[in-house]
Chain A
């Protein structure tokens, strides 16, 4: 039996009929064409499928879509909704050369957002812990760690500008 779920994805409301066995990853990629959400291992180890659900970074490959009723979901597509101005995390990943093949990037950025939202000034070890569940086979992680630190600085500066 299909279940109709209503949810918010990247600011837009949706009502979708889903089968219980469909994962959030399948629905985001196949029903909503949000292919920034990758599928790597499918077992919750690689982090390529990471999305933010109600403020928490989760593995979309291990989440059932049917459990997303009423939830607010953010994917990499939602970081720069107009497609014109990039999010500070995306800018920092480009500036620091933190992207090579790009397969892990969207998941990395969602984990980075989860960290920087809770902790705007993380230490290097906190950054490394935050992406411990995101595998990258190209970069050796150094550039990604630098990018997340730089994104934190950018986000702090812009929030200080807004508040002053």
Chain B
């Protein structure tokens, strides 16, 4: 039976206290939000921290807030299950809710967090592509103070983020969606939504009289981080998304990704599926934009 190696448990009441603990613990300390990734990695022996710092008792860190002026803010310990069912998120950011609902299973969604999913920095993280496409920002607090970073600059490689030293992501925020805009995320895995995503595609589109205006496309699980496909975006920008152009954009997205063969899918399969999911995601986002 897999038992956890021994560690000390710390439960700070404020983010500042958590930063101090993280700083004094150095590389031996790990932050824990929902723990669904951390505890599993510890059981598998991939990591064995001496200190586990739980963020769950920091009051207000689980807040989900929306305003028509500033947009959506999801706190570091807000659960996937709560993001998936939050009325404001369902109304104004349906793709964000769908991505949360499509993550793992009920039990994991009742424990895990959106911000934890981002900080784990898996190339297959289900919550990353939609937030990237919608122009999200991560809010970071460290010993040196506060900084905001576009989510687009946060991911550095598998399991690696732009966080330095004793820094904590306190929240991720998403701007107010502009009028006539829509977003969509589609993913495929071996069995249903349960397995880790083999290919994902998220699109954000604004439409002006049936023509694509602003457009952002991200491909998940087909490179060291979720990847943007600017060439595919360019094919559609300022054009009506006809089936021919969507197909062309899908093919271009394949060329911009760098899929590998692993236990979830072969590189060949991924290459074919990127084209399909990318064009479908753009189409679905465009449809949503016209409905708004």
Tell me whether A and B are bound partners.
yes
CB of B192 within 8 A of CB of A44, answer no
Residues from chain A with Cβ under 8 Å of B36 in the complex: 44, 59, 62
CB of A3 within 8 A of CB of B111, answer no
CB of A114 within 8 A of CB of B52, answer no
CB of A58 within 8 A of CB of B110, answer yes
Residues from chain A with Cβ under 8 Å of B105 in the complex: 44, 47, 132-133
Q: Which of B5, B6, B7, B192 contacts A132 (CB 8 A)?
A: B192
Q: Which of A1, A42, A59 contacts B107 (CB 8 A)?
A: A59
Given known pairs A62-B35, A63-B111, A132-B194, the reply for A21 and B43 (CB within 8 Å) is no
CB of B194 within 8 A of CB of A44, answer no
For B188-222 the 0/1 string (1 means CB < 8 A from A) is 00001110000000000000000000000000000
Dominant secondary structure of chain B at its interface with chain A:
loop
CB of A132 within 8 A of CB of B43, answer no
CB of B54 within 8 A of CB of A132, answer no
CB of B35 within 8 A of CB of A42, answer no
Asked if B106 CB lies within 8 Å of chain A CBs, one says yes
Asked if B9 CB lies within 8 Å of chain A CBs, one says yes
CB of B39 within 8 A of CB of A62, answer yes
Give the CA-CA distance A50 to B36 in the complex, in Å. 14
Q: Which of A22, A39, A63, A111 contacts B106 (CB 8 A)?
A: A111
Asked if A64 CB lies within 8 Å of chain B CBs, one says yes
CB distance from A45 to the nearest CB of B (A): 8
CB of A56 within 8 A of CB of B40, answer no
Asked if A124 CB lies within 8 Å of chain B CBs, one says no
Residues from chain A with Cβ under 8 Å of B54 in the complex: 64, 67
Give the CA-CA distance A52 to B39 in the complex, in Å. 19
Nearest to A22 among chain B residues (CB) is B4
| B interface bracket (residues with beta carbon within 8 Å of A) | 20 to 34
Task: Count residues of A near B (Cβ-Cβ below 8 Å).
Answer: 30
Most buried by B among A43, A59, A133: A59
CB of B110 within 8 A of CB of A56, answer yes
CB distance from A57 to the nearest CB of B (A): 5
CB of B81 within 8 A of CB of A133, answer no
Asked if B104 CB lies within 8 Å of chain A CBs, one says yes
CB of A64 within 8 A of CB of B9, answer yes
Asked if A90 CB lies within 8 Å of chain B CBs, one says no
Within 8 A of B (CB), among A25-63: 26, 39, 42-45, 47, 50, 56-59, 62-63
Asked if A66 CB lies within 8 Å of chain B CBs, one says yes
Residues from chain B with Cβ under 8 Å of A45 in the complex: 194
Given known pairs A56-B110, A64-B35, A111-B106, the reply for A1 and B81 (CB within 8 Å) is no
CB of A62 within 8 A of CB of B3, answer no
Give the CA-CA distance A62 to B44 in the complex, in Å. 12
Give the CA-CA distance A94 to B8 in the complex, in Å. 44
Asked if B108 CB lies within 8 Å of chain A CBs, one says yes
Most buried by A among B2, B9, B56: B9
CB distance from A69 to the nearest CB of B (A): 9
B positions within 8 Å CB-CB of A: 1-9, 35-36, 39-40, 43-44, 52, 54, 56, 81, 104-108, 110-111, 192-194
A positions within 8 Å CB-CB of B: 1, 3, 19-23, 26, 39, 42-45, 47, 50, 56-59, 62-64, 66-67, 111, 114, 129-130, 132-133
Q: 3 smallest A-B Cβ distances: which pairs?
A: A133-B105, A20-B9, A21-B4
Q: What are 6 residue pairs bridging A and B, where the CB atoms are less than 8 Å apart in the complex? A: A19-B6, A20-B9, A21-B4, A44-B105, A50-B107, A63-B111
